[in-house]
Chains A and B, each alone.
Chain A
Amino acid sequence: MRVTANREVCVGAGMCALTAPEVFDQDEEDGRVHLLTDNPLDEQRDKVREAERLCPSRALAISG
């Protein structure tokens, strides 16, 4: 699984960091999404999918 985050559309709601804190963080400076890894572990996949569905600005994309 590969994750990408489009920081240009991110509205900083932080649903991703709330849902999968091992994979997503909010940038200390601008509050927008910051990927901790683009290749989540197997056990993180469900949370990452959930985060992708919850993201209100559809900033997250998953492939593979």
Chain B
Amino acid sequence: MAEPTSSPATTHPADEIPMRRGCPMRPPAEYADLRANGPTRMRMPDGQPVWAVTRHRDVQAILASPDFSADNRTPGLPLIKPEAQEVLDNPTFLRKDPPEHTAERRTLIPEFTLRRVRRLRPGVEHATAGLLDEMLRNGSPADLVESLALPLPSLVICQLLGVPYSDHEYFQTRAGAVLSRSSTPEQTSTAYSELFAYLDDLLTRKQRHPEDDVMSRLATEHLKPAGDFDRETVIRMCTLLLAAGHETTANMIALSTVTLLERPDLVAVLRDQPDKRSDVVAELLRFHSIADVIPTRVAVRDTEIGGVTIAEGEGAIALLAGANWDPEIFDVPERVQIRAGDQRHLAFGYGIHQCLGANLARMELEVVLPAMFERLPGLRLDAPVAELDYKYDGVVFGLHSLPVRWETPA
């Protein structure tokens, strides 16, 4: 393995992955060549060689393969950002393999089934209406990220987990630091330990006074001695849910708004054809592919992917935006269009680590996008699309802020 070098985030050698998006509304232009080429040797920011995998079928193959590890502790796993050793040594189940991954994920599956998510829907509608009421009270202009895109998923995950929303500033800033590629390992590690301490404390309260929420169920049913998990494992599960539940959906709401503002035809579909909402949301998920660079893997035995052999110990990055813009699967991928019933996009990943919150995220988007256009008449951007504050430094792509205006009755 090459010596790690600390290259500043602003310089991007041609063979470095993750790449910076040129146009924020599409994957890096280089992905087209990478797809034509098949799995390609590139380098991570720390200099580690990595296979960049971009074709839809290859991304699916690698993410479904038991021959690749997602575990931080497997030597050779590529890192999308520098991490402190203690973070690497104590992964959440997103970065663990079976059987540990299986046990933790299984515990949480019932909390995110379609049936459960349908039951959460009225609460999400209510929270959305409340935030929109407040936006109307405070008046135009506003920052949509601050007033809607971020607080909605935050309210939802807090309610689900049983975390007091009044503490949201505390954990939002920490979750933000964990997910920023500009954070130093020290900053990430401090943010992690503060989140950990906060949830540790809350878990104690849930043990004493359990309520009807995920943390209480973990505290009373799954924590030793009643259950199988030690305290640290349970807290790390909660850290993951809290951090993942926030940023991802918030970024999708903000980016989708930018896209939809240029597509009144799709806004009309959202408004008039409720049965097509899931198609619009699937397409927005595909188009933006915000989690593009998250799925990194390392081969645990020599495995053939897309015509090349990825040798044991070699790292790979399965680029979700590459797969989601593969013209072999999606006709004219650069066009946002209704692809009726097509759920083949890999925006939530694929394989055993596919996003656990996918059903919840889809439902939140199906609720908030139409409601926002209905309640904020004449919604428009208050800055040019090219000048918005994009998260080029994010582990997940998105927007730091989104200035908007709407018409207020005279």
Binding site for B on A (CB under 8 A): 9, 11-15, 17-19, 26, 28-32, 50, 53-54, 56-58
Partner of B113, one of A31, A50, A58: A31
Partner of A29, one of B110, B112, B356: B110
Return chain A residues, CB-CB under 8 Å to B116: 31
Asked if B344 lies at the interface with its beta carbon under 8 angstroms from chain A, I say yes
For B116-136 the 0/1 string (1 means CB < 8 A from A) is 100000000000000000000
Interchain Cβ contacts under 8 Å between A and B, 26 examples = A9-B352, A11-B105, A11-B352, A12-B113, A12-B356, A13-B359, A14-B113, A14-B114, A14-B358, A15-B343, A17-B113, A18-B114, A18-B343, A18-B359, A28-B115, A30-B106, A30-B109, A31-B109, A31-B112, A53-B344, A54-B343, A56-B64, A56-B349, A56-B352, A57-B354, A58-B64
Nearest-CB distance from A57 to chain B (Å)?
Answer: 5
Return chain A residues, CB-CB under 8 Å to B351: 56-57
The 6 closest A-B pairs by CB, nearest first: A12-B109, A31-B109, A56-B354, A31-B110, A26-B113, A31-B113
Nearest-CB distance from B43 to chain A (Å)?
Answer: 29
Q: Could you tell me if A54 and B344 are in contact, using CB atoms closer than 8 angstroms?
A: yes
Cα separation A8 to B81 with both chains bound (whole Å): 33
Nearest-CB distance from B235 to chain A (Å)?
Answer: 22
Asked if B330 lies at the interface with its beta carbon under 8 angstroms from chain A, I say no
Asked if B406 lies at the interface with its beta carbon under 8 angstroms from chain A, I say no
Q: Could you tell me if A57 and B352 are in contact, using CB atoms closer than 8 angstroms?
A: yes
Asked if B390 lies at the interface with its beta carbon under 8 angstroms from chain A, I say no
Nearest-CB distance from A21 to chain B (Å)?
Answer: 8
For B352-371 the 0/1 string (1 means CB < 8 A from A) is 10111011000000000000
Q: Could you tell me if A17 and B105 are in contact, using CB atoms closer than 8 angstroms?
A: no
Q: Could you tell me if A17 and B114 are in contact, using CB atoms closer than 8 angstroms?
A: yes
Asked if B229 lies at the interface with its beta carbon under 8 angstroms from chain A, I say no
Return chain A residues, CB-CB under 8 Å to B350: 56
Nearest-CB distance from B97 to chain A (Å)?
Answer: 13
- Name B102's closest neighbour in chain A (CB-CB): A11
Cα separation A31 to B354 with both chains bound (whole Å): 15
Return chain B residues, CB-CB under 8 Å to A12: 105-106, 109-110, 112-113, 356
Known: A30-B109, A30-B110, A31-B113. A13 touches B358 (CB 8 A): yes
Cα separation A31 to B116 with both chains bound (whole Å): 9
Return chain B residues, CB-CB under 8 Å to A56: 63-64, 349-352, 354
- Name B343's closest neighbour in chain A (CB-CB): A54
Return chain B residues, CB-CB under 8 Å to A50: 341
Cα separation A53 to B349 with both chains bound (whole Å): 14
For B79-117 the 0/1 string (1 means CB < 8 A from A) is 000000000000000000000000001100111111110
- Name B106's closest neighbour in chain A (CB-CB): A30
Nearest-CB distance from A30 to chain B (Å)?
Answer: 6
Q: Could you tell me if A13 and B115 are in contact, using CB atoms closer than 8 angstroms?
A: no
Residue of B64, B111, B115, B356 with highest tally of chain A CB at under 10 A: B115
Extra contacts, 18 of them, besides A13-B355, A18-B343 (Cβ < 8 A), are: A11-B105, A12-B109, A12-B110, A13-B356, A13-B358, A17-B113, A17-B114, A26-B114, A30-B109, A31-B109, A50-B341, A54-B343, A54-B344, A56-B64, A56-B350, A56-B351, A56-B352, A56-B354
